[in-house]
Amino acid sequence: MFSDEVIARVINDRFEPVWVSVRDVPTVTIDFGKGHKLTRTLHGNVATYVLTADGTIIDVLPGLYESHQYLSQLNQLWWVHHYAVKTPEPAVFLADYHNEQSKAIKTSGKAKVVKPFADMSKMSIEISTKTILRSPVNLKAAGATSAATAPEMIERPDFSKPHQLKHWRKIYEDTDVNEHQRRGQIHRILANRPNAKPDDVTKEIYRDVLHADIDDPYLGLQETLFRDYPFQEDRPPPADKISQKHG
């Protein structure tokens, strides 16, 4: 994704990007002998945070997104940041924003769309979530503009190829789950903690939203891995004892 020219250009132009690793990713290696090995990652996951300069979280995109949607969401979060830093009370603004989005997803299944107001000096109304958020409509039919409109299509999948169809279908499904389920959870977490920094919520997001407990040495897979494992002496202690140990 970050090798894509358009995505890289938007991120480089509009954000100050940094990546961090929250833990090692589990890998599986199958040794077929005679130097033939197959290595794959297992159960990894990602989260994209948009932050202010002092590290306050504006919003979080959980998991992997299809490229077009990823850019669309980043564009919207750029605008939310743009408004948040101009309000007299950013924490109140952000709490309202997350509450509104959480309600919208709960009631309609879709988050509200952020309206772009580039020239703030002409705004005669106070910046609030009521003014900057609106329900998603058929933007093309309405001829409306929105921060949700990404500048251009990123990739054009070739659905005539079965493996591409399967790959892209999975990414679109993941994007759908991210937007309709996981974002709602994120908004509820951040509505209660509008001044949160990444360290305050990372473990909770990975454990409860992405279902990959980064404190668990087996990332929640212990039951699956060891259910029928024959060698009792190699079985790890039960998961609840592990989580107690790691706090």
Which residues contact other proteins by CB under 8 A? 1-5, 7-8, 11-12, 14-25, 27, 34-35, 39-41, 44-55, 58, 74, 77-78, 81, 85, 198, 202, 212, 214
Least gap, CB of 232 to other proteins (angstroms): 30
Residue 169 is encoded by which pair of tokens?
A: 């279908």
Q: How far is the CB of 152 from other proteins (least distance, A)?
A: 16
Return d(Cα 89, Cα 99) in angstroms, integer.
Answer: 16
Q: Are 40 and 27 in contact (CB under 8 A)?
A: yes
User: With respect to other proteins, which residue has the nearer C-beta, 38 or 142?
Assistant: 38
* End-to-end Cα, the chain, rounded Å: 35
**For residues 67 and 7, is the Cβ–Cβ distance under 8 A?**
yes
Residue whose CB is less far from other proteins, 103 or 115: 115
The residue among 68 and 110 lying less far from other proteins, judged by its C-beta, is 68
Do residues 76 and 148 lie in contact, with contact meaning Cβ atoms separated by under 8 Å? Answer: yes
- 4 or 174: CB nearest other proteins: 4
Output the CA–CA distances (angstroms, integers) from residue 164 to 3, 11, 73, in the order listed: 18, 26, 24
Smallest distance, other proteins to C-beta of residue 233, A: 29
Comparing CB distances to other proteins, the nearer of 22 and 91 is: 22
Closest approach of Cβ 46 to other proteins, in Å? 4
Question: Is 112 in contact with 135 (CB distance < 8 Å)?
Answer: yes
The CB-of-168 to other proteins minimum distance in angstroms stands at 19
